[in-house]
Amino acid sequence: MHIDKTLKGRRRLSLTSLIDVIFLLLLFFMLSSTFTRFAEVDIAAGRAGQTAAIAKLPDIFIRLGAEGAWKVNGAAMTADAAMDELIRLELSGAATAVLVVRPDVSSQMLVDALERIGKSGKLSVSVAG
Q: Strands 96-101 and 60-64: what pairing?
A: parallel
Is residue 6 assigned to a domain? no
Is residue 18 assigned to a domain? no
**What range does the domain containing 91 cover?**
60-128
Is residue 10 assigned to a domain? no
Is residue 124 assigned to a domain? yes
Residues 13-63 have pLDDT tens digits of 777 788 888 999 999 988 888 766 666 666 665 555 555 555 677 788 889
* Three-class DSSP labels, 97-122: EEEEECCCCCHHHHHHHHHHHHHHCC
Q: Which letter does DSSP use for residue 41 in this model?
A: -
Total number of domains constituting the chain: 1
Is residue 52 assigned to a domain? no
Residues 92-116 have pLDDT tens digits of 888 888 888 888 888 888 888 888 8
Identify the CATH number of the domain in which residue 121 sits: 3.30.420
Is residue 81 assigned to a domain? yes
